[in-house]
Amino acid sequence: MTNISPIPNWINGQEALPESDAWLEKFNPHTGELLYHVADSSVADTQRVIAAAGNAFPAWSEITPVKRGQILTEIVAAMKQRAEELADCIAIETGKPPQDAKGEVGGAILQAEYFAGEGMRLYGRSLTSGTPGKYSHTVRQPRGIAGLIVPANTPIANIAWKTFPALICGNTVVMKAAEDSPGIANLFAKITKEAGLPDGVFNVVQGRGQVAGAALVEDTRVAVISFTGSTGVGRWIAEVAGKRLARISLELGGKNPFVVCDDADLDQAVHWAALSAFSNAGQRCAAGSRILVFNSVFDEFRDKLVAKARSLKLGVSAGCDLGPVINKRQQNSILAAIATARAEGGRILCGGAAPTERELANGYYIQPTVIEGLQPSAELSCKEIFGPVATLHPVEDMATALKLANATEYGLTAAIHTRSVDRAMWFAQRVRAGVANINLGTFGSEPHMPFGGFGASGNGTREPGAEALDVYSELKNISFLTRSNLI
């Protein structure tokens, strides 16, 4: 695969080499081989991308939302037409099995369709007034340049999640692609051009977070920063972009609780627990990595979950359950976290290492890992791992389950398995999480549902859903006075 050309930036509807002439290496997570080089954009490169988005803003913001929606609908059609190419690109860059890559593209297209439709629904409110003859209504207006910073875990979904609401509101975009999924951002940019999006409306800067990403956050021309990534970087962005009063949307990490009650359908609970913990190789902000199980069913659930985890097939071919993690650094950090868990008294029930089979040995794989015996306060019980690793904790009753579920700085998603409506709703009402699921996994929402977290999982904004429009638009209240003496 090393014959693929390097991935440059995308400025004003075309590829642009970085003037830094510096390049990063992107490796294939399945083979560990060099896949291609990626622009290592400098601050000056990033500023050029921002300038292009600034130049395109006046014309794009003047187009009516309905017309913008029509253009976005053309992008949707092009994405559908090139769905296979998008999925292939995701599969090679992330090591996702093909059915997962296709599923992700399908999800991104749904997002895009939903927000294209918002062109005809960019509603405001009409308001009454205390003054006779005065009429008021609100309108949504674009903010300007949107700086969108995404991780590599679900690359096209992350791009669609932010790009479509930003564009429908009339902003222009600088996308900071993730270091490990540069190709998908480049391919998406080409698709937008072919579908008729005016040049400069969607731009991509490739490169390192601390350089290109930081330059985007610091630039006073960028009116909105929407960031999905780790809580540490999110805190820094809140400080820096907050200081200059930019609009900020932060979708951050999670350590999501999955509760199994004594009246749960255990087979269903095991099915959803395995999906929650291990799908996408655990690289999900919503991963169900803390499994809290009632004492009386603990042994039975544990044995079934371990059997399920052992049955999962690693690899990149069709039908495999999980692929590798995204890079060598991430693989090493997961292995180090497992070593710490062992040292803290954790019993590794399955997995706990990189697989040794020949076809997987060079990739960044981690076996699906289940650990018991850790204190709820142990490092691995609290820290987000972003890999296929789950800890099991026994609980006595609902009160203890809720207490442990909430014993985290995060608050993104939570799930409970029970046959009791009373227990389910009691828990869902009280758990500190932006998403509470009953008899499901710790999965996010659909395109029209808000997603986001409490506490260290975000800053209170919600994307996607209609709530995303609040991130990307300014509200203006317009009033006018009619004169009854002139009729």
Q: How far is the CB of 50 from ligand NAD (least distance, A)?
A: 13
Q: Which single residue is written with the structure tokens 């972009």?
A: 241
**CB-wise, 30 or 176, nearer to ligand NAD?**
176
Q: What single letter denotes the amino acid at residue 362? A: N
- The Cα 289–Cα 385 span in angstroms is 8
- Centroid of chain to Cα 293: 28
Q: How far is the CB of 337 from ligand NAD (least distance, A)?
A: 13
Closest to 48 in 3D by CA, of 226, 215, 237, 248: 215
Element containing residue 55 per DSSP (H, E): helix 43-62
Binding site for ligand NAD (CB under 6 A): 149-153, 176, 178-179, 209-210, 213-214, 217, 228-230, 233, 236, 251-254, 285, 384, 386, 412
- Bridge partners (DSSP) of residue 437 are 415
**Catalytic one of 169, 218, 285, 372:** 285
CA angle 359, 337, 178 (to 5 degrees): 65
**CB-wise, 348 or 466, nearer to ligand NAD?**
466
Q: Where are the alpha helices (DSSP H) in 431-481?
A: 468-472
**CB-wise, 248 or 306, nearer to ligand NAD?**
248
285 is known as an active-site residue = yes
**CB-wise, 233 or 292, nearer to ligand NAD?**
233
- The Cα 97–Cα 113 span in angstroms is 25
**Catalytic one of 93, 179, 251, 463:** 251
SS3 117: helix
Element containing residue 247 per DSSP (H, E): strand 247-251
**CB-wise, 236 or 454, nearer to ligand NAD?**
236
Q: How far is the CB of 452 from ligand NAD (least distance, A)?
A: 7
**CB-wise, 251 or 470, nearer to ligand NAD?**
251
251 is known as an active-site residue = yes
Which residues in 106-119 are b (16+ Cβ under 10 Å) and which e?
bbbbbbbbbbbebb
Q: How far is the CB of 105 from ligand NAD (least distance, A)?
A: 17
- The Cα 424–Cα 261 span in angstroms is 10
**CB-wise, 149 or 314, nearer to ligand NAD?**
149
Contact indicator for 24, 179 with CB cutoff of 8 Å: yes
SS3 158: helix
Q: How far is the CB of 237 from ligand NAD (least distance, A)?
A: 6
Q: How far is the CB of 229 from ligand NAD (least distance, A)?
A: 3
**CB-wise, 179 or 219, nearer to ligand NAD?**
179
* Burial class of residue 43 in the structure, from the number of CB atoms within 10 Å of its CB (0-12 exposed, 13-18 middle, 19+ buried): middle
Closest to 234 in 3D by CA, of 412, 359, 75: 412
Q: How far is the CB of 220 from ligand NAD (least distance, A)?
A: 15
Find all residues with CB under 8 Å of 53, minimum gap 6, and list them.
Answer: 145, 172, 173, 174, 200, 201, 203
Q: How far is the CB of 75 from ligand NAD (least distance, A)?
A: 22
Q: Which single residue is written with the structure tokens 């599969």?
A: 91
- The Cα 383–Cα 256 span in angstroms is 11
Residues serving a catalytic function are 251, 285
